[in-house]
Structure formats: C-alpha cells, structure tokens
Amino acid sequence: MSAGTLAMGRDRRQLLLWLVPPLLWFAVFMVIPYCLLFYYSLGSTDYMTFKPGFSLANLARVFQTEPYLSVLLKSARIGAMTAIGATILAYPVAFCLAFHTRSARSKFIIYLLVIVPWWAAYLVKAYAWKTILGTSGILNALLLNLHLINEPLTLFLYNPFSVVLTLVYIFTPFSILSIYAQLERIPTSMLEASSNLGATTFETLTKLVIPLSLPGVVAGAIITFALATGDFIAPALVGGPDALMISNVVINLLGVAFDWPMAASIGIVVIGIGTALISVAQYLEHRAQVRY
Amino acid sequence: MTAIIEARQLQKHYGGPLAVRDVSFSVTEGEFLSLLGASGSGKTTTLRMIAGLETPTGGAVLFRGRDITHVPAAQRDMRMVFQDFALFPNLTVWDNVAFGLRLRINRGRVTQEEIKARVGRYLETVMLSSHARKMPHQLSGGQRQRVSLARALVTDPPVVLFDEPLGSLDASMRKSMQLELKRLHRELRKTFIYVTHDQEEAMGLSDRVAVLQDGRLLQIAPPDDIYFRPNSAEVARFVGAANVLEGVVESRGDGVAVVRLAGDARVEARDNAAGVAVGDPVTVMLRAEQLRMARAGTAAAGGIAARVTERLFLGDKVRYELRLPGSDTRLTALDTGDRGGFQLGDELAVSADPQHVRIIGRSLPGGVPA
C-alpha cells in the first residue's frame, strides 16, 4: 500500500468521525420515530392499552371510517387554499422587492417587515385574528360604527374561512421569500431586453418573469401547503366545530381516546400523501427551473 | 444626409456629480458611431438614454427629427445588444430570436411564415442554424452574443445599439466578433451606435468615434482625426500611446514652432494652432510610434538626449519608456519590429518629424515649467 492510499484511508476515517454526530441525530430523531410510528400503526388497542401486533386494519380504517378521510380531504383543501392565497399575496411583494426597490436600505426595510412577524409567537398571531374577527372584535365594531349592521355578525369567525385567513397571514412570508429568491436571479438587463424588443410590461410578465419564477412559486406553495395542512392551532383557536383539521383529530386520538394505533395510521397516511405530493411538486419545480 | 439620431444637451443626474453633462451629437443614417470612454465616462448612460432605458434629467433625444425623449423603450425603433447578452434563459435559441417578431404577430404586423423565414435567415447570418433548438446556457459566450445579435437584427430596426457587446468575451473571440460586426454593418447598412472602452475596437469598427470623459463629450470625429488630431490632451492621452508635453512657444516661422520643454529640451512642432503666440504656454502631442530613436553619439543622433528606463517586448513591437536627463519628463516610444534593439539604461537621442508634433492647445499658466 502506498503512502497516498494510507493518507486517503486516514482522511476517510476522519470524515466518518465528522459524520457521526449528524448521523446519530438523524437516527435518534428521524429513523427511530418513523419506525415507532410504523410499529404503533400495526398494533391495536384493548381498553385504552396498546397491544403490539401486525395488522393493517388501522390503515384501512383511515380510508373506510368516517370522519378520517373527509377531515383529511378538508385539511388538504384548507392547505391548498392557504397555498393559493399566500402565493397571490406574496407575489406582488416579492416582485416589488426584487425589481422596484432600488436602494439597499428600503430593500432591507421591506425584508424586515416580512421577517419581523416571525419574532412574535405563533399563538399570539393566531389569537390576534380572534380579536379582529370576533363578535366584539375590531371588524364588527367598525361595521357597527358605520351603521352598516345593527348587531355583531358571527360569520367572520369559527369557520374554514377564518382558518384559511389566519394561516395565510402566518405563512405568507415563506412564499414571499421563496418567490423573491427566484425573481432576484433574473437580471435587470433581461427585462430591459424584453421591453427593448417591444414587449409591454404584461407581455414581459407572462412570457418571462412568471415562467422564470415558477420554481419559487411551486416551492413556496409546497411549504405553505404542508405547514397549513398539518396545522392544529389555527383550527383550534379560530376554526370552530366545522373547521376541525387532521392534526386536531390525531391529537384527540392520542390524548383523549388513547387510540395510538389509529393516530399513528393517520400519521402514516398523511406522510405518504405528503411525500407523494412533494415528489410531484419537486419534479415540476425541477422541470421549470432554468439555467442562466 | 439627415440625422437619424440626435442627442441634444443630454444630461443625467443620479445624485452626486452629473453622470452625463450636456452631451450633444448627431448620427447620420447608416453610420457606425462608437462612444469611447473609460468606465464612469457616461458612455453607457448616454446609450441607455437613447434606448429609453434611462430618462434624461435634461436635454432631448431625437429620432429622425422627432423628440422621443419620453417615448417608452418598447416603442422606439431601435434594438440593443447587451454586454451580458440578456438572453431569455427559458426560451430556446430559436424562440429567443423570434421573441420580438412574435410580439408583432399579436399586433398583426407579421405572419407566422414570415417569422419562420426571418428567424431562419438571421440564425444563418450569425452561423447558428444548427443550434436553434438549444437553450442559451448550452452555448459558448461568443455564440450567446451572436444569438443576441440575431435577436436584435431580426426585427429589422433602423438603429442598433451596442453596450460593450464584446466586453465579456476572450481576446480571440472578440477579434472574430469584431470582423463579424464590421461585415454585418456593411451588409445591412443599419445605423450602429456602439459603446466600448476599447479604443482599438472603436477605431477599427467605426466611421466616427465620440470620446467621453467624466460625463462630457470631448471630441467626435473620424478615427484618424481622433488619433492624429486630438482636440485636447485628454483625448490624446486616452487614445493610443501618446506623449503629451507641456512647454512654451519660443519662436515661430516656416510653419514650424519651436517649443521649449522642461529641462531646456526643445522640440519643433507643426505650427497648426491659430492664436498661439511666442511666449505662450502650450501642450504638444507626439504619438509614441512617431518618436525616432538612435543611440547617442552615432551619426543618426540628433535631438534630445534620453535614457531607456523600461523595455517591454510586445511581439510585433517594443515599447520603451524613456526619461529626459535633468527633468521629470517621461516619453513613451514604440519601435516596430524591434529595429533599435536598445537595452535598459541605454543613452539615446530622440527626435521627431515636426509634422508629427502637434500643438493641441494652450495650457493653463501655472502648469508650465519655468
């Protein structure tokens, strides 16, 4: 064996040493929990105690027994609406940040305005919407004072709409940052070239800017969709009985019904659907990504 | 000949010093005009104001006599070739070139068949027919710039603007693109306005060169005028290797003025400047390649004594840096083909044909050697 291969062997051993902590972390906090999830989903319960076993009955129940599947679909619908809403709100902000903010300082200020709400606790932000949309909330007070209504309206709060509104408010920054990251890569000269060739602003937008920003839009939509679909605080605070989402069901199964196999089975279905959706979206994102 | 583009006292202010100040010139139909200057000279800003990509803070841009200062870029009849090519990365080479024409199809100004024919023809012109289906990132720098050229030319604009189009290409690619541009200009007979910091490029390509410095237009003239008859020391210094010297007119006669330089050296200059009198402080210019050198003490010697302080072998020529003894005056000389073969420290005698020494203006008092 030459000195070179010896040195390489040493390098490899050192590399392994460096990799131990992250691999350990990955095993303890990712692999083992997933295995436990599978383990629990295959078992059953007997008077609120867990019995190990090997049965796919729980998984089947997710699809066959109400209300699991319909709640799952509703959660996905709320997630999708959140993703769409966040994208619609985020795009103009990201666009403005990328192309219409010339000075570094105003860029920083807008950037900060996007980020700063994240310093506030999630719970506080979700709760804030209660004080806006509630019967004694700001919105009703305004309408009453304008004499547009005679008594407070209850239709703003405790429905899927208020959940989507709250989730959009909370997760829009993710979309802004991911769309901005794509838009920022577009050189200004490209937009100038487009208008120099006679394109209107609208044509430049539809032919160049939007296609080029698509990977960012998709990436932002995946994040907001995943976060919103799995959310449990917004439905609990502003959702009301109609807006129960899948995470709330899982919490109830775990903490109230002590049906861990059912909770784990729902978890596996959610992870499965999520993985499939994200794979498709990633494929789309990859296809839409262009090289400059 | 009428002017197709006219810049009238163009001014651009970004805050801070003026980026472009009172720049006026006109471009005749079919001309190749270069805007030459160092970075920060205002050449690109001037071009961008003509294109409508910057709004002037003063002055006007005229197209065939019509004021277009406030016409949006998209509605101006000129196309631009950018330094970074500015190709659309989501479109193929073919679609990039067709981009401008397809916008017109919506406005009923061109048919699908015409687009096909013209894109094909221009891809052929820039020798990229076999790359039509490729994406921009699959091309080399030179190929990308040719796509950008085809994209600009395909819509048949009367004016084509170039913003340092060869700036990001390597030297050999730049040389071949220069030839291609010259050929295209000759064949298409369009008006080209070309921004560059490369004086050789400007002189080799253009019918006229406009030299800019610190936002001001110093001189606009055909290349040989810029080179041999610069109107100021700045132009002389910027273009080619020139010796710009300060001195005082000692005597005049027979079309020759004797100018006394620092250290009591005297040169004979062509007495071309009207209004120069004996005793006036003047600036004289002599091109490096027109400086004659001989070894001191030989029969050919004559003129001013100088010592070689640096010798740079440049292949086809040798550049000498010389210093006149007893003064700070430095000279640059170019010896084509290294005929002299001088070495560092050699004592020379330098001279010049008075016809090649030009008085390019009166210098300010104070800048004159006593």
Chain segment A119-143, per-residue pLDDT in tens: 888 888 888 888 888 888 888 889 9
CB nearest to A203's CB, from B72, B83, B103: B103
Confidence of residue B204 (pLDDT cuts 50, 70, 90): very high
Most confident residue range from A12-21, A112-121, B52-61, B251-260: B52-61
Closest chain A residue to the Cα of B52, Cα to Cα: A196
B10 and B60 in a single domain? The answer is yes
Measured between CB atoms, does B66 come within 8 Å of chain A? no
List the single residue in A with minimal CA-CA distance to B88: A190
Report DSSP letters for B112-125, one per residue: HHHHHHHHHHHHHH
Domain residues for the domain of B133 are 3-233
Is B74's CB within 8 Å of A212's CB? Answer: no
Nearest-CA distance from B164 to chain A in Å?
13
Tens digits of per-residue pLDDT, B125-144?
888 999 999 999 999 988 99
Residue B370's pLDDT band (boundaries 50, 70, 90)?
Answer: very low
Q: Which two tokens stand for residue B369?
A: 């050697």
ipTM for this prediction: 0.82
Residue B245 C-alpha from the chain's centroid: 23
End of a domain among B176, B201, B233? B233
A268/A291 Cα distance (integer angstroms)? 36
The pLDDT tens digits for A207-219 are: 999 999 999 999 9
What is the rounded average pLDDT for all residues in chain B? Answer: 89
Of B233, B257, B281, the residue at which a domain comes to its end is: B233
Report the 3 state secondary structure along B315-347: CCEEEEEEECCCCCCEEEEEEECCCCCCCCCCE
In a domain, B75, yes or no: yes
CA distance A251 to A118: 25
Confidence of residue A28 (pLDDT cuts 50, 70, 90): very high
Match 């009172």 to its residue by tokens: B22
Residues from chain A that touch B82, judged by Cβ atoms under 8 A, are 189, 192-193
Kindly report whether the global pTM for this prediction surpasses the value 0.95.
Answer: no
- Verify that A255 and A211 share a domain, yes or no: yes
Residue A11's CB is within 10 A of a number of other CB atoms, namely 10
d(CA A267, CA A247): 9
Residues A105 and A166 in one domain: yes
Out of B211, B233, B255, a domain closes at B233
Whether residue B7 lies inside any domain: the answer is yes
Q: What is the amino acid identity at position B239?
A: V
Would you state the structure tokens that stand for residue A205, as one six-digit string?
Answer: 């937008």
Same domain, A154 and A243: yes
Strands B159-163 and B78-81: parallel
Full residue range of the structural domain in which residue A22 is found: 1-41
Q: Is A172 inside any structural domain? A: yes
| Nearest-angstrom CA–CA distance, B66 and A234 | 62
CB of B306 closer than 8 Å to CB of B324: yes
Q: Are residues A135 and A240 in the same domain?
A: yes
| A141 in the same domain as A32 | no
Dmax (CA) of chain B: 80
Q: Are A228 and A83 in contact (CB under 8 A)?
A: yes
Count of C-beta atoms within a 10 Å radius of residue B164: 21
Verify whether the Cβ–Cβ distance B53 to A192 is below 8 Å: yes
**Alpha-carbon span B303 to B280, nearest angstrom:** 22
pLDDT, mean of residues A103-132: 87
Looking at the complex, report in whole angstroms how far the Cα of residue B153 sits from the nearest Cα belonging to chain A: 10
Which of A104, A215, A241, A99 is CA-nearest to residue A163?
A241
The verdict on A24 and A122 lying in the same domain is no
Q: Percent of chain B beyond pLDDT 70?
A: 95
Tell me, what's the pLDDT at B362? 72
Of the two residues A279 and A241, the one the predictor is more confident about is A279
Q: Decide if A236 is inside a domain.
A: yes
Are residues A3 and A145 located together in one domain of the fold? no
Query: Which of A189, A198, A212 is opposite residue B82, by nearest beta carbon?
Result: A189
A73 in the same domain as A37: no
Are A22 and A150 within one domain?
no
3-state secondary structure of B163: strand
CA–CA gap between residue A115 and residue A100 (Å, rounded): 19
pLDDT, residue A7, reads: 60
d(CA A68, nearest CA chain B) in Å: 43
Is B97 touching A (CB cutoff 8 A)? no
Residue B321 has pLDDT above 50, yes or no: yes
Whether A47 is in a domain gets the answer: no
Q: Please indicate if any CB of chain A lies within 8 Å of the CB of B2.
A: no
User: Which among A197, A200, A290 has CB closest to B90?
Assistant: A290
As for how many domains chain A has, the answer is 2
